[in-house]
Amino acid sequence: MTKSILTILLITFSLNDGYSQLSKTEYEDVVEYFVECIKDKDIDKLDSIISYPIQRPYPIPPIRNKQEFKNRYSEIFADSLSSLIANSNIKKDWSDVSWRGIMLHNGIVWIDYDGKLITTNYTSDKEKSIEEKWTKYEKELLHADLKDFKKPIHTIETDKFIVRIDLLENEKYRYASWSIDSEISSKPDLVINNGEWTPDGSGGNHHFTFTNGEYSYIVYVNILGTDETPLFYLEVTKNDKVILNQPAELKEIK
């Protein structure tokens, strides 16, 4: 990483952090331990404060265990991000945000109050390359009606449905769904092209809304939450009355 890149990152995040601070002294110890692990690139210590799987930007596969974390460490903690963490000021650059946890700057890294890594909102050049390869692979798998999109967002599954969301060239989102026993190479049962993205707070949680006549299909994405909070949630309403509400998880694409 060049010195100029680190400087740009530090300036960018410091502009948003005039009032960042930790409200309790014990949180400083938690952050300090995490920062030291990153400085030392100590996989064993980091493994002890990670709850697997570590979700990565779709369609990059999640990291499921210590061996995968060791193999892919440089994908997540690239030199630029590692330097940003290592050079952070624990008292000024980190802040606790109610139930969400503790964040670095404006949320580039999140850990919980026990020091466990929650997520990073940073995509390294290595991950961008992996993302491109997986996007190309998924396009080859999809039904012909769905191959035209700008960026894949999610493919998830509930007990009953497979749902895929893609960003289109017009900056709208597309919703496609199949029954759970279908393949994504088959023609979808439903396609809606008018989706909108809405943030839910400052922690990264958000949802997508798709309208089809009197029906609305809403996919909630919970980046931050409790251990019991599903990563995804599918809600369907008819004339604003909920008729379906199901937790969902990422579908493994093979």
Per-residue pLDDT at 211 exceeds 90: yes
pTM: 0.77
Instruction: Go through 7-45 and write b for each residue having 16 or more CB atoms within 10 A of its CB, e for each that does not.
Output: eebbeebeeebeebebeeeebeebbeebbebbeeeeeee
**Which H helix or E strand runs over 163?**
strand 161-167
Q: Pick from 116, 134, 110, 170: which is nearest to 57 by CA?
A: 134
pLDDT (tens digit per residue) in 66-78: 999 999 999 999 9
Backbone angles phi, psi at 73, to 5 degrees: -55, -45
Structural domain spans, the chain: 3-125, 142-250
CA dihedral 76, 81, 171, 161 (to 10 degrees): 30
Per-residue pLDDT at 3 exceeds 80: no
pLDDT (tens digit per residue) in 94-120: 999 888 899 999 889 999 999 999 889
